[in-house]
Amino acid sequence: MKTVLADRIRDLPPYLFAKIDELKNEQRKKGTDLIDLGIGDPDLPTPPHIVEALAVAARDPGTHRYPSYVGMAAFRAAAAAFMKKRFALTLDPGKEVVCVIGSKEAIAHFPFACVNPGDVVLCPDPGYPVYATLTRFAGGEPYFVPLRREAGFLPDLDAIPADIARRAKILWINYPNNPTAALATPDFYKKVVAFAQKHDVIVASDLAYSEMYYESPPPSFLETPGAMDVGIEFHSLSKTYNMTGWRVGWACGNATLVGALGQVKTNVDSGCFDAVQHAAIAALSGDQACVAAQRAIYKERREILCGGLAAAGFDVLTPKASFYTLIANPKGTTSIDFAARLLTETGVVATPATGFGAAGEGFVRLTLCADKARLAEAVARLRKLKL
């Protein structure tokens, strides 16, 4: 029998969380009360007015047919209005905004719009694995740009070899960052634009966590002078409005890049359910007090988890944005082994940062996606761990 699987599937890197999943199953069989802080999935419910908008729209038979490939005009207008209000950006909803089935879908499809076999794509390390995996699927070559703690987890663009920069087609950036929770500054974004212009590189900015901040609102890359000439940005309603399962977001920016993504989508999907788009319009256009209230909840949780762990002697990177925090491994311990110790000795589930790239070695990631009581219990358990 011929080989069943395509090379692109067989060549995928090994699943680094397999050991953790195996240990989780073992602990559950023993009856261990696990506190799972490993997955970035909001535990808070979607705000009621968004749920109601979905319910009303779903009862309308007009929403039951195939949707537009690129999204309802009303949704794209709502997304453009959000970008105007939040970032002072003026976008053409018809040419510079496309509705996507969650930002992951768009991030996965974008390489197929721009990457030819042999093109290099600059991917952050550690970073969201989809950037590199779908680069490979599109026939491109990921080049991993390390994010170092001492540099604020910002890539050193000047350190990218000249031959790599010359072959590069896309540079992925993601701030607020997953998994490091780092933020980017306007000055850094100016350097990114200069790099893109010098090397004729597309900048793909993943801004899924734009509204999850604790002090100052993070900027959009597209606010930077020249960014609209070189960039596309991916936005999601998942984390902002607790809509991870709803699968809706948008991509915006340079009209050629947005149009190319839309062209891919017309060939691979049939668009986002109209009723979900109506709910998304209610989210983007409605009172944002629910988002502010959510930030306050996460801020309280941050103080419990990060403050408690710091007081217990852990080296904690307290986030200024997102609901992630990194804690450094004890000396001489790998990220996988440290996560395994946390799980087996305390019942607290963490994600080894090496799951996001080799440069994640040295850290495990925890999320704030649990209520205050569970986070306090997690801190109490971790205090007993001998570092």
pLDDT given at position 84: 98
Which pair of tokens denotes residue 132? 């590199």
Does the global pTM surpass 0.85?
A: yes
pLDDT given at position 70: 95
pLDDT given at position 12: 77
Q: What angle do CA 271, 272, 273 make, to 5 degrees?
A: 120
Considering the four listed CATH numbers 3.40.640.10, 3.30.1490.20, 3.40.50.300, 3.40.50.620, the one that applies to the domain covering 48-285 is: 3.40.640.10
Q: Which CATH architecture has domain 7-45+290-383?
A: Alpha-Beta Complex (3.90)
Nearest CA among 159, 170, 179 for reference residue 132: 170
**Mean pLDDT for each consecutive 10-residue tract of the chain (387 residues)?**
76 70 86 91 96 98 95 98 98 98 97 96 97 96 98 98 97 98 97 98 98 96 98 98 97 98 96 98 98 98 98 96 97 94 95 95 97 98 89
Q: What is the DSSP string of 194-243?
A: HHHHHHT-EEEEE-TTTT-BSSSPPPPGGGSTTHHHHEEEEEESTTTTT-
Which residues belong to CATH 3.90.1150.10 in the chain?
Answer: 7-45+290-383
pLDDT given at position 3: 67
> In this structure, how many other beta carbons lie within 10 angstroms of the beta carbon of residue 65?
7
Q: How far apart are CA 328 and CA 338, in angstroms?
A: 9
Query: 265 near 109, Cβ under 8 Å?
Result: yes
pLDDT given at position 17: 66
Residue at 323: amino acid letter:
F
